[in-house]
Structures are given as C-alpha cells and as structure tokens.
Amino acid sequence: MKKIIIVLSLLCGIAYAEHGVDEKHYELYWQQIPAVCGKSSIVQEYIEDKGLEPVYMSLGRAGSKPDGEPVYMVTTYEKDDQVLVTVDLPGAVETCILFHTYNKSEVKIKFKKGV
C-alpha cells in the first residue's frame, strides 16, 4: 500500500510539472529517474548520520516561471567530496533523495556560448 501511495504521488507530480515545459522549443522530454523516498524524519536521520550539511535550498515553481506557485523544494547537502540532493512536495509526509554522489570536483573551465 505504501509503495502505491509513493508511486501515485510521484506520477501526480510529474503530470503537474509536465505542463510547464516548452518541449517544442527546447526539445525537452520527461524521463523516469531513480529516487529513494521515505518519511522525512528517516531521510533526515540518514543525512545527519552521513554528516552532510545543507548548503542550498531552492523552489521549483509552476510552469518553470519565476513567479509561479511553489510546487516543490530542492535541498542540496554537502560534505567534503559528497553531494546529496532531496526533493520535497508541499504537504507530503515523505522526502525523496534524488542522488548521493561522491568525488565532487570543481569545474574551473569557463565555457563560452557556442564553444
């Protein structure tokens, strides 16, 4: 039952966000990605156990517009060479970890448009 609720909530979020992307202009498409979800308190416990600290928080807004209604919140955590990103939906009781990566390195090359 728990898995069904998680899947349905993710599908609802995908369906809602899909209307805001201009697929024809940018040739973007939706992709299924793996995410690990759980009660927010359990995800927070995992993050604390790993010693990660929040460094950025940002809001995803309806239609990908700066003045759109907030539809999700992304939090980026870091520790040494690790990065972990979570996503939270308003009113949801769970948090999803989008990725936990290692061997972070800074990109020092400046790219110019068209290069």
C-alpha closest to that of 98 among 83, 80, 79:
83
Beta bridge partners of 77: 54, 84
Every domain of the chain and the residues it spans = 2-101
Tell me the pLDDT of the chain (115 aa) as tens digits. 555 444 445 445 444 444 555 555 777 777 888 899 999 999 999 999 999 999 999 999 999 999 999 999 999 999 999 999 999 999 999 999 999 999 999 888 887 776 5
d(CA 75, CA 42): 16
pLDDT of residue 68: 95
pTM: 0.71
